[in-house]
Structure 1
Amino acid sequence: MKSNMFARLGWGFAAAAALLAGCGGGGQEGLAQTSSAVLQVDGWVQPVSADQGVSNVKSRSMLASPPVPSLVSLGALAEAKATPAGGGIGPRQVGVARDVAATRAAPQTLQQFRWTPTSSGGQVAAISFSAEGAYGLRLGVVARKLPPGAVMRVYSQADAASVFQIAGHEVMQRIERNAQAGDTSIDGQTWWSPDLGSHEVTLELELPAGVAPDAVDISVPRVSHIFENLSIPTEGELTAKINESASCQLDASCYEAYANQRNAVARMIFTSGGGTYVCTGTLLNDAQSSGTPYFLTANHCISTQTEASSLQTDWFYRAPTCNSRTLSSATTKRLNGAVLLYATDVTDTALLKLNDTPPAGAFFAGWDASTQATGASVVGLHHPRGDLLKVSIGALNSLTSCTATSGTQFQCVGSSGNFYRVNWSQGTTEGGSSGSALFKGGTQVIGTLYGGSASCTSISSPEFYGRFDVAYNTALKNWLSSGQPQTPSSGVRVPVYRFFNGTTGAHFFTTSAAERDNTIVNFPVFNYEGIAFYAQAALQSGNSAVYRFYGLTGGAHFYTINPAERDSVQRSNPDFQLEGIAWYAMPSAAGGGIPVYRFYRLSKGVHFYTTSPSERDFIQASMPDYRYEGVAYYAWANQ
């Protein structure tokens, strides 16, 4: 068959498959392999009762008054912004990197901070960044050293009542995850703040008592200047902002047959190399309907852990009723990135696990891991140009083989291969649609959008989707197919939530969401720092119980996996009350876990625990009051 060339607007693809977690090395992928039982999985709806975790968005009324910030102002964007071509396929660029001389390194950044004391004995300071003409700013915070108990906050001075708050511990966890995936560059060391939809963003840093500012090593050498309006539009902006994609696009809210599937689709905003981009992704169910937030998109959207760490998602970003030209009030954001599980250019597939719980009502889409017959009716649900959710309707024409020929071009030939050729009868796709799922008959996922040449003036021109069955049989089955539903008796891992007491310097851990929420509401001295690690909910072969004690006098908790230490504490320290088994972990590294390091604070008589090597090293180098006691036990980095 004669080959054709098609534009793919966006990045070039990686030359090789990258298997990043869970199932060993990568390697060249071929066509779908015959499996003993081809799975078809139906979808299900996220219930209202699902634990939504702890929101990073706080009310300033619950926090101390904001410090007076120093000001760092950037002028208007000097260079011509990248203008995405209409009708193209690929990550739609919506932001560019800008250097910030005033905070390019840690010494300059610390000079900008004006420290003031806090009521808990610590210090707090802030820097306000602004860029003329920006619709939003993402701050590229390079974090090399953040002390235990540090807290970062991000907000706009125009809306200081709403604050995004993240523990320094969580920031360092994400940077370490980037490094573990192989990125130790400046990009890998960068935490990107969420886009707040404002030309001004304030970065606030609070340090706990006993920590000097010169122990901190952070800088903001870059910001990502958002030149397109990605925020939820105001009433006056609706006409200009809503439905700015091509005129032949079909409003997904007009098609009730796909009511569930459209709730599986999210608009993606992510940053790479300082540029910010828009794509589309889809929430996937797994064989046991576990509720794990697996998220499918294109490799040419997100192919590295560093990019995945920067991800924020917009859910229910659509019109509330058919062709209403308004935005649904149900629209909601998730801001905490993802873990990249698998990425390959062979089918242009990327599978992520979101760090946030999807909102109630989100749909975990079903999928079909069998090869589809030509002529099958198919539906695409996507966010062209980052617009409200649209639908495209057509048929699967044939199989084909696609290869990248340059950064913006690819070639598809033949009638066999790892991609589907699709022709639309209604609607089309555009830049920003990339990574969106192809649904057979509008029900189950069978592919992800790679590229094509369809447009409003050429709707029937072909589009190409990476085959889900090929990606599934090669790797995705390692996550999406796993026998029976997990129960506590089958060894399910549960998150262990971490709190830091800034007064005592001690940690409190719990696996109970109810206890977590009660602590946040009623014990403000404890600062919530997110998920520390994962542990087993029940005893399994090779695991042991971790016991939890409470110090009646000091009000601090103590944890041990050692039965002899447990017995010694009960005999010799009546002030410590045994509260029972907290969770189950491994006494040695034989099970492939991560070490939990233990420190003892001499002046307070309390313990401190961390799984972070950088946090361990920081304490040993900068905080002599903490005596290192070694590895307490071994837990897990993920579920």
Structure 2
Amino acid sequence: MKYFNQLLIIASLGLTIVSSAQTLAANKASEIASKGQAIAEQKQAMKNLHGQLSASLRAAERHTVELTTSELSTLTTPGVDPTGRYRVGVHRAVGKSVSHDKADLIINIPGAYAVRLELAHVKGVVSVFNESGQAYQYSQDGFTHTFIGEEVRVRGAAHIEGAGAVNMGGNLCDFNASCVENAECKNIGMPDNIRDVRNAFASILFRSGAFYYVCSGGLVADSDSDSEVPYFLTARHCVSKGREANSVETFFQYTQTCSTEPQDCSTQPDSSTVGSSIVKSGRQGDYSLLRLSDNPPDGSIYLGWNTDPIASTDEAYLYRISHPGGAPQAYSEHWVDTEAPNCSSWPRGNWIYSRDLLGATEGGSSGSPVLNSDAEIVGQLSGGCGFNVNDVCDDSSNATVDGAFAAYYSDISQFLGGGDPDPGGDCTDADRDGWCVEEGDCDDANSEINPGEKDRGGPKWSDKVDNDCDGIIDG
């Protein structure tokens, strides 16, 4: 979640106000997802798999990843970093391999609350499990689910490219602002139609460079009532690159029991999907439309949307579910304030300025869709703008700012209006290696050729391939 201090009102009043380039009369109602597996069924399948793997334990090699003092500090003090995102973990290169014929490999990261691996050169089926009962299987390169504890066990044939150490503490607890409201509580007055679409929202965990971050987002319905394309809306400042999208892990239907006291936040949310690709991402409105690699769990909701220019509709009510701090659902209500001073990088019209009426958003809430009174998407969270943005409860000094769906709908209408197109937009990634052609992937038909690879030439041999896309052939 990004925050900006607006130091001088007089400066903000002198800004040019940019309205939406085009007002589009388009809207779509929400839909219920049915293709995914229910979370209870996912848990049972994991329990069965874990039982099978634990019953056939074999010798294992242990590899320990020692974190630096700075990295351990990142784990113990998560928070908004200079990128404007809520940082919760670190990523380290590992470079260890395991094969079907040899012992299992145990990756241990002392000090980690949870561990996540990046797999490469996967052959056949690779099983990853831990002592607390989590177990998943993978048949292609990419990121694993997040596993609670300091270590995970790998069985199969793969190269462990890297490992993440993550702090996955929850929300609505002692580190959350006092004005944050638990969405599970009945006395907050959430309208029934907003409560009906709560299963559309998810917290997301993703890797960007050397760190792991959390943001929020929600499923988006397309116009074809016969299709269920797992489109997912979040903020561009959260996820804007193919490799970041490839690492996205979602946590749907993640809630906390209603209580007036701070609660235990150490429970691990149920992971729902792993992996995604960028369909379209734009700076205007700070949006990223992703396509999840897996279907969301059964019972999820695809949110409808509306392109009315809500940014210019003074005192319009807005509603939001988000995951501040990357944890259970929080609820907030807002009203559009067309007279709120605006930040120069977020011109009104392309962004919606509102005041908090109930609850609040914090770091990790970025990307959460904001809804109108008909429970339709009208934008998604960019952050806050005001004189006291370090205090999220100060609604008189700060405005909440959302990218306006109406301002960028024309850029994504071909996807939401046409059912199931191929991913495209700002990120072309046909080989699904997590690198976009636009980011320098020089061979989008080969997942082993991209800027993240290493040249395989040497003084005595060369494969005559530019593996790392630097323009130099090996040898």
TM-score higher than 0.5: yes
Which of 247, 253, 256 is the matching residue for 2:178?
247
Paired position in structure 1 for 2:64: 73
8 Å CA contact 2:273–2:296 kept in 1: the answer is no
8 Å CA contact 1:400–1:418 kept in 2: the answer is no
TM-superposed CA distance for 1:442, in Å, is: 6.2
8 Å CA contact 2:317–2:334 kept in 1: the answer is yes
Which of 16, 21, 37 is the matching residue for 1:52?
37
Paired position in structure 1 for 2:86: 92
CA shift digits 1:454-491 (9 cap, x unpaired)? 53441231121111011111x11111113xxx7xxxxx
Which of 268, 292, 302 is the matching residue for 1:364?
302
Matches of 2:368 and 2:168 in 1, distance apart?
21
Paired position in structure 1 for 2:146: 195
Instruction: Please list, as runs of the form range in 1=range in 2, the aligned pairs for 1:27-426 lying within 5 A after superposition.
Output: 31-35=20-24, 38-47=25-34, 50-52=35-37, 57=46, 59-62=49-52, 65-79=56-70, 81-82=73-74, 83-85=77-79, 90-100=84-94, 103=95, 109-110=96-97, 113=98, 123-141=101-119, 143=120, 145-147=121-123, 150-156=124-130, 158-159=131-132, 162-167=134-139, 170-171=140-141, 191-206=142-157, 218-220=159-161, 222-226=162-166, 228-230=167-169, 242=173, 244-254=175-185, 255-257=189-191, 258-289=194-225, 290-321=227-258, 325=263, 332-372=270-310, 373-398=313-338, 411-412=344-345, 416-426=348-358
Matches of 1:125 and 1:246 in 2, distance apart?
47
TM-superposed CA distance for 1:369, in Å, is: 1.3
Q: 1:326 to 1:260 in 2, by over 3 A?
A: farther
2:125 aligned partner, one-letter code: V
Paired position in structure 2 for 1:210: none
SS class of match (1:332): coil
TM-superposed CA distance for 1:200, in Å, is: 0.5
1:192 aligned partner, one-letter code: F
TM-superposed CA distance for 1:361, in Å, is: 1.8
Q: 1:346 to 1:429 in 2, by over 3 A?
A: same
Paired position in structure 2 for 1:537: none
Q: 1:90 to 1:437 in 2, by over 3 A?
A: farther
TM-superposed CA distance for 1:99, in Å, is: 4.3
8 Å CA contact 2:362–2:392 kept in 1: the answer is no
Paired residues, what number?
393
Matches of 2:224 and 2:69 in 1, distance apart?
52
Matches of 2:106 and 2:86 in 1, distance apart?
28
Matches of 2:147 and 2:203 in 1, distance apart?
15
TM-superposed CA distance for 1:87, in Å, is: 12
Matches of 2:224 and 2:340 in 1, distance apart?
32
8 Å CA contact 2:280–2:290 kept in 1: the answer is yes
8 Å CA contact 1:439–1:447 kept in 2: the answer is yes
Matches of 1:359 and 1:85 in 2, distance apart?
29
8 Å CA contact 1:399–1:419 kept in 2: the answer is no
Matches of 1:446 and 1:99 in 2, distance apart?
40
TM-superposed CA distance for 1:317, in Å, is: 1.1
TM-superposed CA distance for 1:365, in Å, is: 1.1
TM-superposed CA distance for 1:322, in Å, is: 6.7
Q: 1:401 to 1:425 in 2, by over 3 A?
A: closer
TM-superposed CA distance for 1:417, in Å, is: 3.5
Query: Scaled by the length of structure 2, what TM-score is found?
Result: 0.72
Instruction: Please list, as runs of the form range in 1=range in 2, the aligned pairs for 1:525-604 lying within 5 A after superposition.
Output: none
Identity of aligned residues (%): 26
8 Å CA contact 2:200–2:303 kept in 1: the answer is yes
Paired position in structure 2 for 1:119: none
TM-superposed CA distance for 1:387, in Å, is: 2.9
TM-superposed CA distance for 1:348, in Å, is: 0.3
1:344 aligned partner, one-letter code: G
2:248 aligned partner, one-letter code: L
8 Å CA contact 1:91–1:300 kept in 2: the answer is yes
Q: 1:88 to 1:266 in 2, by over 3 A?
A: farther
State which drifts further: 333-342 or 302-311: 333-342
SS class of match (1:445): strand
TM-superposed CA distance for 1:45, in Å, is: 2.2
Q: 1:253 to 1:457 in 2, by over 3 A?
A: closer
SS class of match (2:407): helix
Matches of 1:75 and 1:326 in 2, distance apart?
28
Q: 1:308 to 1:39 in 2, by over 3 A?
A: same
SS class of match (1:32): coil
TM-superposed CA distance for 1:203, in Å, is: 2.2
Instruction: Please list, as runs of the form range in 1=range in 2, the aligned pairs for 1:493-504 lying within 5 A after superposition.
Output: none
CA RMSD between the two structures: 3.7
Q: 1:340 to 1:7 in 2, by over 3 A?
A: farther
Say if 2:360 is the partner of 1:428.
Answer: yes
SS class of match (1:270): strand
Say if 2:403 is the partner of 1:477.
Answer: no
Instruction: Please list, as runs of the form range in 1=range in 2, the aligned pairs for 1:429-508 lying within 5 A after superposition.
Output: 429-441=361-373, 443-453=375-385, 454=389, 455-460=391-396, 461-473=398-410, 475-482=411-418
Query: Scaled by the length of structure 1, what TM-score is found?
Result: 0.55
8 Å CA contact 2:146–2:271 kept in 1: the answer is no
Q: 1:60 to 1:382 in 2, by over 3 A?
A: closer
Matches of 1:279 and 1:413 in 2, distance apart?
19
SS class of match (1:432): coil
Q: 1:277 to 1:85 in 2, by over 3 A?
A: closer
Q: 1:62 to 1:155 in 2, by over 3 A?
A: closer
1:263 aligned partner, one-letter code: N
SS class of match (2:217): strand
SS class of match (2:412): helix
SS class of match (1:79): helix
TM-superposed CA distance for 1:614, in Å, is: 6.1
8 Å CA contact 1:297–1:448 kept in 2: the answer is yes
8 Å CA contact 1:129–1:202 kept in 2: the answer is yes
8 Å CA contact 1:95–1:276 kept in 2: the answer is yes
8 Å CA contact 1:378–1:440 kept in 2: the answer is yes
8 Å CA contact 1:399–1:418 kept in 2: the answer is no
CA shift digits 1:112-143 (9 cap, x unpaired)? x4x6xxxxxx63542111111110122233x2
Matches of 2:412 and 2:377 in 1, distance apart?
13
Matches of 2:339 and 2:83 in 1, distance apart?
19
CA shift digits 1:215-264 (9 cap, x unpaired)? x7x353x32221x234xx8xxxxxx9846421111111234422123221
Matches of 1:369 and 1:79 in 2, distance apart?
45
